[in-house]
Structure formats: structure tokens, C-alpha cells
Amino acid sequence: MFSFSDQNDFCGRRCVWVNGPVIVGAGPSGLAVSACLKEQGIPFVVIERSDCIASLWQKRTYDRLKLHLPKKFCQLPKLAFPEEYPEYPTKKQFIAYLENYAQKFDIKPQFNECVQSAKYDEACHLWRVITVSTNGSTQSETEYICQMLVVASGENAEGVVPEIDGLKDFSGEVIHAKDYKSGEKYTGKKVLVVGCGNSGMELSLDLSNHNAKPSMVVRSSVHVLPREIMGKSTFDLAMMLMKWLPLWLVDKILLVLTWFILGDTQKYGIQRPSLGPLTLKNHHGKTPVLDIGALERIRSGDINVVGGIKRFNHTSVELVNGETLDIDSVLLATGYCSNVPYWLQETEFFAKNGFPKTPFPNGWKGKCGLYASGFTRRGLAGASADAIKISQDIAKVWKKELNHKKQKVPTHRRCISTF
């Protein structure tokens, strides 16, 4: 299917020529691009640093996680969720759907191979992608050479661990949200949850469900919206309203409805940003929190909301308002970042933050066969839209080249026959 010429170069590195694109990452974005290419008969290679598909979902998320948008917004191209799935599938169901997706489209990533660098070689007009694969204690390098590169390594590739004064001296456990599974082992413990995005809110709720004592740090402001309004998903409602009304008006409507349902969140120490939820998401990429019960626990006092952190001590934390809290553990729900700047040697299309410089909806295609899938800050719906555009574009280039080659073949044959 794809022509693989396997050779070792003088450094002992395996060299592989790939017909078609190399796709970095076998998460939902990489799988979606792969499925769309497969349908058009275009060969590709998917490289995945982990030992499974969708490693974010399989290895770096907590047990109680569910999709927080209705399933119709989360399915990948060409395969709907099973009908019996609930409106908000669980993490387990989503992973099962993705496993089935990879099987249906016969997607077989190169597992345990991490892309270390990718660079466009101007001299030969090709991408050179270097990976390191780990097999037990042995490591080996491979260089893939290809005409097209699809970056699908994710907006959430690495956990962000902020530098906070004294954190290194804190004697209790400190983990990032990506390593949290359940509140079971925290029963009776005083846990500081740093961050109040969807992760911070849900980890606090989970801790409270397990009779731990969570304090959640809210250092600035955040929009908390109900997940549903009058039985309809808030996201769905917003999408519908946006078809007819300007963004600022949809924001106003959402905030009024939210006020009726959740009341005034400022009363509980959660300030609202001055920009509306959709405007803030569009301009600054900050995701609103879709509440699934944490606010009720904040109201009841089971989750304690605190302000910003000044510094950590051996067994406590000092807050900017001068208060000191004794704590047993710290959970850093401080967000995620892209890892593209660490391995992609390109600065025209990708910015320093690892996202395409061109804003949505045009940030999927760079120059020289470079593509970005899943960097729209629009979750799974954004990943699907990217995959369709990218695969169509690649198909156009692919078919053009194929025709070009076909036109050349008869000439070649003519030459041979004259001998």
C-alpha cells in the first residue's frame, strides 16, 4: 500500500521513505485524518509515542470523566456513535468507540515512537521526521522522509506545572490533574486543587464525593455555565443561537439564563470575566466551565473556594489574602500545552505557544505540505472539521501527482520499446 524503502544510514538510524503523509499522534485528530485518507486510498504512516491509540483518554484522564458536550458534537467523520450510547458518553465508551474506529478503518500506528524532530529539507523539498522508539531498555532512531506532515499531537500534549514559591519544599504529594484517577485515596485528607477550569471543578467534586476536604484555588475569574438549559445542552443552544444572532447577544442570553439557573457565582468567590463566555473562548481560547455539580458543593461548603497562592510551606499554603491553610496534598489542575515547539523546526506556521498563528477556520494548512489537525480550541468537533479539510487537500495533491506520474509512464514505456 505504501512504498517503504528501509535502509540504515551511516549513524545506524533506520531510514524510511513514506509515500503519502506522516501523521504525528494517534489521538482522535490523527485517527480522523487517517480514516478520511484511508477512504480515498491514500497511504500514510501514523506515529504515536504511547503504546495505544488516544493515550490522553486512556492514560491521562480521571475515572469519572464523561464527554461534556452531546455525542453528536463529538463523533469523528464517517462513524456515528452507537445509538445505545447516552447523550454524554463515558470515557470508557469513548475509548471503545475510538478502538472500533481504528479497527474499522484499519489504522495501525507505529506505537512507542516519539517524534523528536521534524524539519523541511529545502534542498530536496521533503520533510525529515526523526523518531526515537523504545523497546524495553533499548532505544532506536528512525528517520521518515515524506512530502507531507500532519501535526496531530494535541493541544493538551503536556501538563502545565507552574512555578510557585515553596512548592518544592512542600512535604505532601503534589500531582498534576493528568495523573489523578479518583478521590478514593484522599478520603479525610485536606487537598488543595490549584485551578478552576473544567478539570479543577471536576476533581474538586470527585474529592468531595469521596469525603475528602477540597479547597479550590480561583486566582482570577471564570465563566461557569450549566451543562444544560431547560433540558437542552448549553453548547447546542449556543450553536443554534449563533446562527441567527451576533456573538455578544448570544453571550448576554447565556449569562441571563445562567443567572436564573445557577444564581450569582460571585457570592461564592467565583468572579465572572468582563468578556462573555463565547467571546472569551473565541478571542483568548479560555474554555467556560460546564457545571455538573461542583457549584452545588461550593454552595454547601463541601468545596472551599480560595484566592490566589502566595507560597507553599512544609505542610501548608499561604494565600494572597494572608490566610494560611494546612494541607495534605496538592492537585495541579493548571491546564495543558502543546509540545509542537519542542520538536517541529518551523516558525512560520506555528507560533511559540505551539498553536498555528492563523486563526480559526484557516489554521489547518501551512506551506510545503504541512498540516495541523486538532488545534482549533474547539475540541472534537474542531478535530473532525480539520480532518475533512486536510484529507481533501491531500487527496487533491495526491491525485495530481498520480496523474502526472501516469502521463510519464507511457513515455518511459515508449523508450523501452524502441530498444
Ligand X SMILES: Cc1cc2nc3c(=O)[nH]c(=O)nc-3n(C[C@H](O)[C@H](O)[C@H](O)COP(=O)(O)OP(=O)(O)OC[C@H]3O[C@@H](n4cnc5c(N)ncnc54)[C@H](O)[C@@H]3O)c2cc1C
For binding to ligand X (CB under 6 A), which residues are involved? 24-30, 47-50, 54-56, 61, 65, 67-69, 74, 114-115, 152-157, 199, 336, 339, 343, 374, 379-380, 383
Q: What is the DSSP letter of 82?
A: P
Q: Which stretch binds ligand NAP (CB under 6 A): 196-204, 261-269, 312-320, 390-398?
A: 196-204
Binding residue for ligand NAP, selected from 70, 335, 354, 382, defined by CB under 6 A: 335
Nearer to ligand X among residue 327 and residue 380 (C-beta): 380
* CB-based contacts of 262, cutoff 8 Å, min separation 6: 224, 225, 226, 291, 295
Cβ(77)–Cβ(36) below 8 Å: yes
Of the listed pieces 258-266, 296-304, 332-340, 363-371, which binds ligand NAP according to CB under 6 A? 332-340
Interaction between residue 238 and ligand NAP (CB under 6 A)? no
User: DSSP code of 221?
Assistant: B
Residue type, 315: T
Compute the residue count for the chain. Answer: 419
What residues from 345 to 404 belong to the interface with ligand NAP (CB under 6 A)?
A: none
Q: Give the bridge partners for 309, in sequence order.
A: 319
Residue 25 interacts with which of ligand NAP, ligand X, none, CB < 5 to 8 Å by class: ligand X
The residue among 194 and 212 lying less far from ligand NAP, judged by its C-beta, is 194
At 242 the three-state DSSP class reads helix
Nearest to 113 by CA among 70, 143, 78: 143
Per-residue binding letters, 49-88, with ligand NAP (x by CB under 6 A):
----------------x-xx--------------------
The Cα 290–Cα 223 span in angstroms is 9
R_g of the chain computed on alpha carbons: 24
Per CB under 6 A, contacts with ligand NAP among 119-178 are 156, 162, 164, 177
- Decide whether 253 or 305 has the Cβ nearer to ligand NAP: 305
Q: Residue from 77, 197, 269, 293 that binds ligand NAP (CB under 6 A)?
A: 197
Count Cβ atoms within 10 A of the Cβ of residue 283 and give its class: 0-12 exposed, 13-18 middle, 19 or more buried: exposed
Cα–Cα dist 298/305, whole Å: 7
Per-residue x/- track, 13-52, ligand NAP (CB under 6 A): ----------------------------------------
Nearest to 344 by CA among 104, 157, 112: 157
271 SS3 class: strand
Q: Which residue is nearest to ligand X (CB)?
A: 27
Among residues 147, 199, 233, 339, the one that binds ligand NAP under rule CB under 6 A: 199
Contact residues toward ligand NAP (CB under 6 A) are 65, 67-68, 156, 162, 164, 177, 194-200, 202, 217, 219-220, 222, 287, 309, 333-336
